[in-house]
Amino acid sequence: MSEPMSLLGEAEKLDAADRLAAVRERFVLDDVTYLDGNSLGALPAHVPARVEDVVRRQWGELRIRSWEESGWWTAPERIGDRIAPLVGAAAGQVVVGDSTSVNVFKALVAAVRMAQEDGGTGGTGGTSGAGPVRDEILVDATTFPTDGYIAESAARMTGCALRPVTPAEVPGALGDRTAAVLLNHVDYRTGRLHDLPALTAAVHAAGAYVVWDLCHSAGALPVGLDEHGVDLAVGCTYKYLNGGPGSPAYLYVRRDLQPRFDSPLPGWNSHAEPFGMRPAYAPASGAVRGRVGTPDILSLLALEAALDVWDEEGVSVAAVRAKSLALTDFFLRCVGAYVPDGRVESVTPAAHAERGSQVALRCDDAGEVMKRLIERGVVGDYRAPDVLRFGFTPLYVGFADVERAARVLARTLAG
C-alpha cells in the first residue's frame, strides 16, 4: 500500500475513534478544510437563532427592560464565569468586555501600580517594603505587535523603562526594579507554548507581577491560572472560543488582588454605584472593577451562545488538548511523508510540552503558497515574512482534514 493510502486509511480510523467527532455537527462548515481557527473560529450552528432572539425580542420588544429582564447588565460577569473554567479559574475572577488590547493596557498599568505601591514585595503579596523603585516593564520581544505597542504606552504612562526580552531570557532579566512582565502563553507565529508555571514563579520570586496573554491558548489547552498563581491575564474569544468576529475579550484578576486592582480606565460600569452618577469615582468590588463602559450586548450574547458547545457531553479542556496534540502530530507526519525534503521547515516545537494548537511551516514563498492553498480549499494563513500557519480547533477539525491539508500542500508546492 502506498504511503498516501496508508495515511488516509489511518485518518479514517482515527476519526472513527474520535470521541469529539460528533461535536463537528454543531458548527457551520462546508467542504473547505478550515485550519484558521487560530484567527477566527467557525460559527456554532445555533448562534444565529440566539442572536435573532436578542435582536428581535430582547431589543425589538423588551427594549430597555432587557438590561434587567434579559440579564444584559450582568452579562460581562456571567459570561466571564463561563470562560473561567476554560482557563483554570474559579468563578468571580473573569469579566468579559472591551478588546484584548484595551484589557492588556488595563492589566499592565494596574500591575505596575501595584508593584510600585508594594515598595519591593510585588506579586508575592507581602506588605510594603523599602526596596528600589520598580520602574521597569519586561515585554515578550516576540509578542503580537499590539501587545508591544500597548506595553510601550503603559511604560510612558507609568514612568517605566521598557525592556523587550524573549520568554527564555525573562528569568535572567528580572531584577529588583522590575514591576511587571507581559508574556504570551503561545507564540502567535510559531505556535510555541511557553512555560507559564515556571515563568510565573520566576516573576514572583523577583517581587514583580505577571500579565499573560492567552489569545492562542484559551479553548485549546489547559492554562491553570489559579493553580499557578497568575496575577492578571487577558485573552480574546474569537479564536478557539468561536465567539465571532470582534467578539469581546476578557480580563482575569486574581481574587486576592481585586481590592488593589487600580484600572487606568475607570468607567461608570465599574463604579460601586453605577447609577448614582456621582462625580467622584469609587470602584466596585470584585472583578467588576475591570469593566469600563456600556457592554457590547449583541457580540457578548453571541459569545455566550457559542460557549454552549463546551456543555456537550465529553467536551472538556483535557479532551480538546489530547486531540489537539494528536492532530498536530499527525499533520507533521503527513507533511513529512508528502512534502519534498527541504521545501518547508517546521518552526513549531516537536515536544508536546512546548506546542500550542497550531503548526507553523517556514516556506520561502509562503504568501503565494497560502493563496494557492486557499484556492484549492485548504484555508490557513500567512505571517510575514515566510510562515504558513495552520490552526487546529479540535472541536471541528478531524484527522481526514489534516491528511487532506498536507496532501494539497504537497501538490501545491509541486506546482
* Domains in the chain with CATH codes: 3-30+313-413 (3.90.1150.10), 57-311 (3.40.640.10)
Identify the pLDDT of residue 1: 39
239 among known catalytic residues: yes
CB atoms within 10 A of CB 269: 18
Q: What is the reported pLDDT for 350?
A: 96
Q: Determine which one of 18, 187, 213, 401 is catalytic.
A: 213
> Of the residues 34, 105, 144, 250, which is catalytic?
144
Chain position carrying cell 486592582: 261
Residue-level pLDDT at 2: 54
- Confirm whether 323 is a catalytic residue: no
The pLDDT of residue 126 is 41
pLDDT at 123: 53
Please tell me which residue in 238, 250, 252, 392 is annotated as part of the active site: 238
Of 302, 329, 334, which is closest to residue 405 (Cα–Cα)?
334
According to the model, what pLDDT value does residue 130 have? 63
Cα 122 to Cα 128: distance, rounded to the nearest angstrom? 9
Report how far residue 268's alpha carbon sits from residue 292's, in angstroms, rounded to the nearest whole number.
6
CA dihedral 125, 129, 134, 137 (to 10 degrees): -10
pLDDT of residue 129: 53
Q: What are 65-111's pLDDT values in tens digits?
A: 999 999 999 999 999 999 999 999 999 999 999 999 999 999 999 99
The catalytic residue among 134, 323, 389, 404 is 389
| Residue numbers of the chain with a pLDDT score lower than 50 | 1, 124-128
Question: Active site includes 134?
Answer: no
Which of 26, 189, 239, 355 is labelled catalytic? 239
Question: How much is the pTM?
Answer: 0.96
Amino acid 47 reads V
Catalytic residue at 53? no
Residue 132 C-alpha from the chain's centroid: 34
Three-class SS state of 139: strand
129-164 pLDDT, tens digit per residue, is 567 899 999 999 999 999 999 999 999 999 999 999
Task: Look at residue 367 in the predicted model and tell me its pLDDT.
Answer: 97
Q: What is the pLDDT of residue 280?
A: 97
213 is catalytic: yes
What percent of the chain lies above the pLDDT cut of 90? 95
Contact 399, 15 (CB under 8 A): yes
* Whole-number Å distance between alpha carbons of 320 and 315: 7
CA distance 76 to 86: 16
